[in-house]
Amino acid sequence: MPTLPWTVPNPAPHHTEVHVFASRFETRTFWGALRFLARTPGVWRQVSRASGAYGASLKAEPFKRTFWTLSAWESPAALKTFAREGVHAPTSQGLSAQMRGAKFATWQASSDELPLDWTEAFRRLT
């Protein structure tokens, strides 16, 4: 699966601070990577409709069993609501046994920097 391009469900107001979230997941097995990929469309649809979501992207290297997410949110609360609702919650719970490792990073950025560049996310996740 190639990179899912930056998707903008709700344009961010200019000159405002946004909450950035980045993640890196590695599955234990190739089967786990396939399960991750199979569940991606449902979570992606949820992101595209999420209140407070200003943009998101996903990079996948399924043969290396590694996946990255990068998203911008109105607030930490908007991100938390997304993570606990819809298909994301049961998907993340269902995949937890497949995960070998996960790393997360959050920071603040200006809405004028959207869409976000992957360079900073990779720096924070390695």
Q: Are 43 and 58 in contact (CB under 8 A)?
A: no
Q: Which pTM was predicted?
A: 0.93
If we measure between CA atoms, which residue out of 55, 85, 51 comes closest to residue 70? 55
The pLDDT score that the predictor gives to residue 121 is 96
More confident residue, 3 or 27: 27
Cα–Cα distance, 74 to 53 (Å, whole number): 6
> pLDDT band for position 93 (50/70/90)?
confident
